[in-house]
């Protein structure tokens, strides 16, 4: 029962106004939730994987590269010249070396550096693995760029996907082949060295395995294409 004070008080209520206010509140909440859910994988991953400068995997790179800003700036410029998203280049370097320019392959290949240059690949670039190992990450990026340009020209292939770009390091001849194409089969030495790439553990490494691995490890980079929103990563 209302207190006597309020018994004869009339409070005018505009039903239409209340409806409008409630509608706005609901719409606002929907927009906020939708915006959160609708963020692209790239946007979500940038927050997780960046070191604050908004660049993909830069947090991981910063753990071994002192001048991370100069490094990421150079990566963007190289990606522009290669006509690929810089996320692809960061993903491949992370996969191969965790951004350590001096890391040496433990499987007996003699490969070193950001994209695991083998002695043969180093000679193709008129250098050596010993020289590469002594370089900083920033210096080694010049050879990374030269390598990808050389592979594209030598095999007459364009890099259309992250998988293509990764194959330029792993097996350039396989770029553009169908998903069933097999790279390595157990018990061959090459399979043993790359067994980690056998995603379904069927005793062979196919392009389908590489595709699955790239998608699983780097969903942001995997989702990008050479035509995706270039303005987000091309101007410097």
Q: What is the pLDDT of residues 26-53, one digit of tens each?
A: 444 433 333 333 334 443 444 345 555 6
What DSSP character marks residue 173? Answer: G
DSSP-derived secondary structure letter, 182 = E
Q: What distance lies between CA 73 and its chain's CA centroid?
A: 16
What residue has token string 């990566």?
75
CATH class of the domain at 40-177+219-225: mainly alpha
What is the maximum span of the chain, computed from C-alpha positions, in angstroms? 97
Residue (of 45, 74, 78) closest to 159 by Cα position: 78
Question: How wide is the angle at C-alpha 229 spanned by C-alphas 233 and 159, nearest 5°?
Answer: 80
Placement of tokens 């290669």 in the chain: 82
Nearest residue to 114 (alpha-carbon basis) of 90, 87, 150: 90
**Degrees to nearest 5, angle at CA 39 with 36 and 44:** 100
Domain limits, the chain: 40-177+219-225
CA distance 147 to 96: 14
Half-sphere exposure in the Cβ direction for 234 (13 Å, CA): 11
Q: With H, G, I as helix, E, B as strand and everything else as coil, classify residue 204.
A: strand
């433990």: which residue's tokens? 106
| Beta strand ranges found along 2-159 (DSSP E) | none
Q: Which of 146, 144, 132 is nearest to 103 (CA)?
A: 132
Question: What string of pLDDT tens digits covers the 236 residues of the chain?
Answer: 444 443 444 444 454 444 444 444 444 443 333 333 333 444 344 434 555 568 999 999 999 999 999 999 999 999 999 999 999 999 999 999 999 999 999 988 999 999 999 999 999 999 999 999 999 999 999 999 999 999 999 999 999 999 999 999 999 999 999 999 999 999 999 999 999 999 999 999 999 999 999 999 999 999 999 986 453 444 33
The overall pTM is greater than 0.85:
no
The DSSP symbol for 73 reads H
């Amino acid at each position: 029962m209302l207190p006597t004070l309020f018994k004869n008080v009339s409070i005018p209520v505009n039903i239409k106004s209340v409806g409008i206010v409630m509608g706005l509140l609901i719409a606002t909440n929907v927009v906020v939730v939708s915006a959160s859910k609708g963020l692209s994988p790239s946007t979500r991953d940038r927050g997780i994987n960046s070191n604050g400068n908004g660049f993909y995997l830069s947090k991981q790179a910063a753990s071994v590269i002192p001048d991370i800003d100069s490094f990421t700036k150079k990566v963007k410029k190289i990606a522009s010249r290669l006509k690929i998203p810089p996320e692809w280049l960061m993903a491949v370097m992370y996969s191969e070396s965790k951004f350590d320019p001096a890391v040496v392959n433990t499987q007996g290949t003699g490969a070193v550096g950001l994209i695991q240059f083998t002695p043969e690949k180093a000679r193709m670039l008129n250098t050596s693995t010993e020289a590469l190992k002594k370089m900083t990450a920033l210096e080694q990026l010049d050879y990374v760029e030269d390598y990808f340009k050389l592979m594209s020209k030598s095999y007459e292939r364009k890099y259309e996907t992250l998988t293509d770009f990764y194959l330029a390091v792993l097996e350039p001849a396989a770029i553009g082949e169908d998903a069933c194409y097999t790279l390595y089969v157990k018990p061959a030495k090459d399979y043993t060295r790359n067994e980690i790439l056998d995603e379904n553990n069927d005793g062979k490494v196919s392009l389908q395995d590489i595709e699955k691995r790239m998608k699983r490890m780097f969903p942001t980079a995997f989702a990008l294409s050479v035509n995706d929103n270039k303005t987000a990563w091309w101007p410097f």
